[in-house]
Structure 1
């Protein structure tokens, strides 16, 4: 198997590790900007540097991973739209909605690995037939801790902290919007508040608050970049019980009784191989149902940004 990669940053390396765990013989070809500005990948076994899109396509990759900065996704997708090569696109799909959704002539998948977290998959399975009254999703984390290799104030240079680079908590943490869409479908109405007045002092939005309205319940979503004690939870309020998903611990607890309904040893890092395995299975099965395609991801982006 040969896989092309555009954007060889930290998230690309997670996908590479997932691929190699599934197929030790996988060949990686990476599109780089230039010989002068991009360090050679030859020191990394199995990665070949290329310097033009034509070169990349000439290698006839089985699929291409798009993991360059979000602000570059649109132009990259358009350039590959007629190639016929399947596209594995890192979330979020695009940085904004200023241009129309391009037509892609090949299978697409938007990488939202939380759909492969065991606790959320348990919720997906056990929601059937239950009347939901209220849903609350929360994710708070500390942006400077996201890039531990960047010293002092260097974290401010990463795209997450800079609005002009396509960063912002509303789009960085689009996972929450995505899994809610996956669980409940598109909401009837969306209201939102974005702010960047915290002590982080960055240009990108560091706080986002959404309210989604469905016919019989509402969903509250709060996201932030400045919480030191990481917390990521989903709460579902039913008539007879309240379930809380602790995404970091991968557990589901009935808060009404204190009973742990589900727990898994799986951690976030394990969702990347699970996601890649599912993607490869779908590529190899013509009759497989499409999953999180570019059209679906564009719907999620509209919820996030419109």
Structure 2
């Protein structure tokens, strides 16, 4: 298997590790724009985009900054290569023409949201089938300066609005799994702000209400919580399901009903395995660009 990587940052290295775990003989290429770029073991740097067509690439991982995704995808369309795109799809909603071209060319796409492979969420998806839901509360709070030790947090894309950062788009995972579990809401309302002590230009607090016929989903996200919390609470007629994503566990009316030894790092392996075995071979369609665009619409709803 031959894979091209565009954007070789921290998240790309997780995908690389997953690929090497699945296939120790995988051939990896990185399209680089800085000459000379840092050499990484097991990855061949290339500097001329024209070389790509002669490499026999099986698929492309797009993991550069979000605001570069549209330009990057547009530059690859003539190659008709499958695209594995790191979330979020775009930084805004000005990409419909690009999506139409992808559909017309029947290009295989997947937008990476690895939490769909977290066992506690997979358990929840099965557990709530047939239950009458009255309320859903989703929360994710953590401390941005702790995300990337050794780096000035104000210089990374997460902290900078002009680079496509912001807690509402950085943590699009929460919108993604809400969509995966519950479907498309009737309408969306939100409150966004960037007034915390972090002093960054990007949104650092987001509060959303997703309206469905019989219940609302409340999603609260922030960059400034020192004690991390990531959870989902589903209030049903016959009880309450609490899912602790950090512990990868689920509780029904306060009693533990599900736990697993799966680590968050395992979800990257599970995701890549599903992509290469199912999506790449067209056995399944899962979070394609069209679905990811619908989720982006929720995320970027106007206040």
- TM-score band by shorter chain is over 0.9
- Which residue number corresponds to residue 93 of structure 2? 97
Find out whether 1:243 has 2:238 as its counterpart.
no
How much is the aligned-residue C-alpha RMSD, in angstroms? Answer: 1.1
Is the alpha carbon distance of 1:284 and 1:300 closer, same or farther for their aligned partners in structure 2, counting shifts above 3 Å?
closer
For 2:215 and 2:285, locate their aligned partners in 1 and report how far apart those are by CA, in whole Å.
28
Residue 296 of structure 2, aligned match among 297, 301, 304 = 301
Which whole-Å deviations, capped at 9, do the CAs of 1:126-160 have from their partners, x for residues lacking one? Answer: 2211111000000000000011122xxx2210000
- SS of residue in 1 equivalent to 2:79: coil
Is the alpha carbon distance of 1:299 and 1:131 closer, same or farther for their aligned partners in structure 2, counting shifts above 3 Å?
same
- Which residue number corresponds to residue 84 of structure 1? 80
Deviates more, 1:72-81 or 1:129-138: 72-81
- Which residue number corresponds to residue 131 of structure 1? 132
- Which residue number corresponds to residue 19 of structure 1? 19
- Which residue number corresponds to residue 203 of structure 1? 201
- Which residue number corresponds to residue 274 of structure 1? 270
Which whole-Å deviations, capped at 9, do the CAs of 1:180-234 have from their partners, x for residues lacking one? Answer: 0000111000001110000101000000110000010100000000000000000
Question: 1:39: how far off?
Answer: 1.9
Which whole-Å deviations, capped at 9, do the CAs of 1:97-130 have from their partners, x for residues lacking one? Answer: 1342412131000000000000000111122111
**Scaled by the length of structure 2, what TM-score is found?**
0.95
Structure 1 spans left out of the alignment, 5+ residues: none
- SS of residue in 2 equivalent to 1:68: coil
**Scaled by the length of structure 1, what TM-score is found?**
0.94
Find out whether 1:143 has 2:138 as its counterpart.
no
For 1:187 and 1:281, locate their aligned partners in 2 and report how far apart those are by CA, in whole Å.
31
- Which residue number corresponds to residue 74 of structure 1? 70
Which whole-Å deviations, capped at 9, do the CAs of 1:2-23 have from their partners, x for residues lacking one? Answer: 0000000000000000000000
Question: 1:34: how far off?
Answer: 2.8
